[in-house]
Structure 1
Amino acid sequence: MTLRLILIRHAKSAWDDPLQDDHDRKLNARGRDAAPKIGAWLAGQGYFPAEVLSSTARRTLETWDCMAPALGEATVMRRDPGLYHASAERMLEALNGCAASPVLMLGHNPGIGEFAARLLRKPPQSARFDRYPTCATLVADFEAEDWSAVSFGTGTAVTFITPKDLEG
């Protein structure tokens, strides 16, 4: 059985209030522009998540809110506080607890970039993959009966895209 993961770093966030708690930072204009474009691209490719797993940070939840109109309302949404600045190991633990496929997971760097790299047998051919910039999106497939059987080094990259790739 093939399981599919859509792994997204949150869209670009604002740094305009130095006193604001990092967890509460909102998206900036660039992020509010990029997230729906990635959502529309996912929908155009037929990548509709059955389950969304997100950090509880405001910027990850806003990223999903900007994408959701293109991806449908029938999705199960789970907010996991443990994904806020999570390690690759913690992200794998969260993924192992998922039930549906495809799963769309929203998180933060540096953990999400490391998680993406460690999940795959071989990285996608993209100069941006190592940086995993804001709103970067990896689609990866796993041959497993359920998510609990997925481990590092078992995924196959289907595609990797960034908002910059969608520009003109």
Structure 2
Amino acid sequence: MKTLALFRHAKSDWSDARARDFDRPLNARGQRGALAMGRYIRDTGRRFDRVIASPAVRVAETVEYASKAWGRSFPVEWDRRIYLASSAVLVDLLRELTGDPETVLMIGHNPGLEDVIFDLVPDDGSSPLRDVVEAKFPTATFAVLELDIARWADIDSGCARLVSLMRPRDLDPALGPVLPGSLDP
């Protein structure tokens, strides 16, 4: 059995229309969301043998804020292939992992991360959390999958169970979606 945690970057800043997508930082709400999720991950007692992440600025800042709240830093393997990758690319990256770690944390972007869930978790009603992901997988969401495999190279569609899903708004309603007519703090 292997464990895969997926962590979508926190809310990014769109105020500079000239900025490249790769270079967008977190906005204030994103910083708060990353801190909240870092505390949540710490409180669950989760540990990861490997952490792989997109090197996009918003991901790097999500790691920075979450680590600060978590109270520990961890070595991150920055992999440009994760940036805006499809599920197929992300699954291939997992298949290529060396050393066969038991637990992996992947930090990146949508729609790739949520599509990994759709590809690995069967749509057979056995995981009610899958329906929540179908509705929305917002920024700073943290999901944990258990994979019925012995080696990462064995990943195949339908091999996982979604055992945990936490969205920022589940921790603090102020981190939820901005209602029409309101300002994004």
| TM-score normalised according to structure 2 size | 0.83
Any conservation in 1 of the 2:149–2:159 contact (CA below 8 Å)? no
> How many residues are matched?
166
Q: Which residue of 1 aligns with 2:40?
A: 41
Matches within 5 A, 1:48-63: 48-63=47-62
Partner Cα separation in structure 1 for residue 83 and residue 141 of structure 2: 17
Any conservation in 2 of the 1:5–1:103 contact (CA below 8 Å)? yes
Partner Cα separation in structure 2 for residue 82 and residue 97 of structure 1: 12
Q: In structure 1, what residue type is equivalent to 2:116?
A: F
Partner Cα separation in structure 2 for residue 166 and residue 94 of structure 1: 30
Q: Which residue of 2 aligns with 1:106?
A: 107
Query: What is the RMSD of the two structures over their aligned residues, measured on CA atoms?
Result: 1.7
Secondary structure, counterpart of 2:2 in structure 1:
strand
Q: Give the 3 Å change call, closer, same or farther, for CA 108–149 of structure 1 in structure 2.
A: same
Alpha-carbon distance, 1:118 to partner:
1.2
Alpha-carbon distance, 1:76 to partner:
3.5
- Larger Rg computed on CA atoms: 2
Q: Which residue of 2 aligns with 1:158?
A: 163
Partner Cα separation in structure 2 for residue 17 and residue 25 of structure 1: 8
Matches within 5 A, 1:26-105: 26-69=25-68, 70=70, 72-73=72-73, 75-98=74-97, 99-105=100-106
Unpaired runs of 5+ residues, structure 2, are: 174-185
Q: Give the 3 Å change call, closer, same or farther, for CA 165–127 of structure 1 in structure 2.
A: farther
Q: In structure 1, what residue type is equivalent to 2:163?
A: V
Correspondent of 2:141 among 136, 145, 150: 136
Identity %: 30
Alpha-carbon distance, 1:128 to partner:
4.2
Where does structure 1 differ by over 6 angstroms across 4 or more consecutive aligned residues? Answer: none
Alpha-carbon distance, 1:30 to partner:
0.5
Q: Give the 3 Å change call, closer, same or farther, for CA 20–108 of structure 1 in structure 2.
A: same
The CA deviation string for residues 40-67 of structure 1, in whole angstroms up to 9 with x for no partner, is 1111111122211111111011111111
Partner Cα separation in structure 2 for residue 68 and residue 21 of structure 1: 25
Partner Cα separation in structure 2 for residue 112 and residue 126 of structure 1: 13
Unpaired runs of 5+ residues, structure 1, are: none
Alpha-carbon distance, 1:129 to partner:
1.2
| TM-score normalised according to structure 1 size | 0.91
Partner Cα separation in structure 2 for residue 102 and residue 136 of structure 1: 18
Alpha-carbon distance, 1:37 to partner:
1.1
Alpha-carbon distance, 1:18 to partner:
0.2
Any conservation in 1 of the 2:129–2:162 contact (CA below 8 Å)? no
The CA deviation string for residues 111-161 of structure 1, in whole angstroms up to 9 with x for no partner, is 211112111124443764122110111101112222111222111111111
